[in-house]
Amino acid sequence: MIDSFVHKGQRNMLVSELQAKGITSEIVLNAIRQVPRHLFCGDAALDRHAYMDKAFPIESGQTISQPYTVALQTQLMDIKPAEKVLEIGTGSGYQAAILAVLGANVYSIERQKELFIKTTKLLKDLKYSVSTFLGDGFNGLPNYSPFDKIIVTAAAPYIPRTLLEQLKIGGILVAPIVNGEKQILIKLKKLSDTDFEQTNHGECEFVPMLEGINHETSI
């Protein structure tokens, strides 16, 4: 698994593109500069596309999110070192790696067994400290809650109450929510057990958040 100067140069160009699109957080931009996204894209043939600002198909009909979306979600979460962060939808592991670089304690759930196995190994091989779980994100991780921040990276039909319960007061949840034909990126800040402050952050495109675990695997 090679990370060359060419890849590093491509990442710097990607960062300039993200800045032009409105990403301002220096720590987020630095994390994008550091994480070798091409190693998360699955097929080496796609190497040269890895630093374009677009989403990619990976195994099991899933996608690696668009860098802009990863950057925006991460910026909205305002991650501080050592915070406990729950991610729903490990997928390629790229978003989880970005959070790990920011110093978060990352707990990430994936419902597709095949992806779970492959990505757990990749994150370990690349030495990113992320705890991965095969499970249904609708249930969160009750044994590890509460979390400072929660990020959902699959389009949810609604915000699962369980996840809101597993968020600390003062904590932030960022999620794409299905709204008719569209998906809207929303940020919720938990003010008390019953009060939340919501802001909307534009349209986005994610694969759907589905219930249950898919145990099918070809590995």
Q: Which residues are catalytic?
A: 65
- Which single residue is written with the structure tokens 């970005």? 98
In the complex, least distance from residue 78 CB atom to ligand SAH, rounded to whole angstroms: 18
For the four alpha carbons of 180, 20, 92 and 172, in that order, the dihedral sign comes to negative
CB of 124 to ligand SAH, least distance (A): 16
Two tokens, residue 139:
């249930």
Q: Which residue number, 111 or 190, has a Cβ lying nearer to ligand SAH?
A: 111
**C-alpha span between 77 and 128 (Å, rounded):** 19
Q: Which C-beta is closer to ligand SAH: that of 77 or that of 154?
A: 154
Q: Give the angle 99-100-101 at the CA atoms, nearest 5°.
A: 90
CB nearer to ligand SAH: give 43 or 211.
211
Helices (H), 64-108: 67-77, 94-101
Residue closest to ligand SAH when measured from CB atoms: 91
Phi/psi for 79 (5° steps) reads -70, 135
Question: How far is the CA of 38 from the CAs of 44, 105, 129, 218, in angstroms?
Answer: 8, 23, 19, 23
State the residues that interact with ligand SAH by CB under 6 A: 62-65, 88-89, 91-92, 94-95, 109-112, 115, 136-138, 153-154, 207, 209-211
CB-wise, 39 or 194, nearer to ligand SAH?
Answer: 39
Q: Output the smallest distance, CB 195 to ligand SAH, in A.
A: 26
